[in-house]
């Protein structure tokens, strides 16, 4: 499933995606410092610095993927 994050900052160091499950600390699932695609396991992120957005995709979705996904710029 794809999730899209839009941001307004003109310059930043990195875009981060976190997974937040009930009763647990946030888990960093992606850290991307430059534009383009990055894959880690079943998670792929694509950072579009021109369009100021990032898309996170989870492949082969499992029940444990049920969570709140948050993005942040650093």
Q: Helix-strand-coil percent breakdown of the chain, rounded to 5?
A: 5, 55, 40
- pLDDT digits 0-9 by tens, 7-30: 998 888 999 999 999 999 999 999
To the nearest 10°, report the CA torsion of 44, 46, 52, 53.
-40
- The residue-averaged pLDDT of 25-37 equals 96
Q: Which domains does the chain have, with CATH numbers?
A: 2-73 (2.60.40.10)
> Distances in Å between the alpha carbon of 26 and those of 12, 36, 63, 64, 69?
21, 24, 17, 14, 9
Rounded to two decimals, the pTM is 0.91
Could you give the CA distance from residue 33 to residue 66 in angstroms, rounded to a whole number?
26
């Amino acid at each position: 499933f794809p999730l899209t994050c839009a941001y307004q900052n003109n310059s930043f160091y990195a875009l981060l995606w976190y997974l937040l499950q009930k009763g647990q600390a946030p888990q960093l699932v992606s850290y991307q410092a430059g534009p383009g695609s990055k894959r880690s396991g079943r998670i792929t992120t694509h950072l579009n610095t021109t369009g100021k957005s990032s898309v996170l995709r989870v492949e082969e979705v499992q029940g444990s993927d049920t969570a709140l996904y948050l993005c942040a710029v650093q």
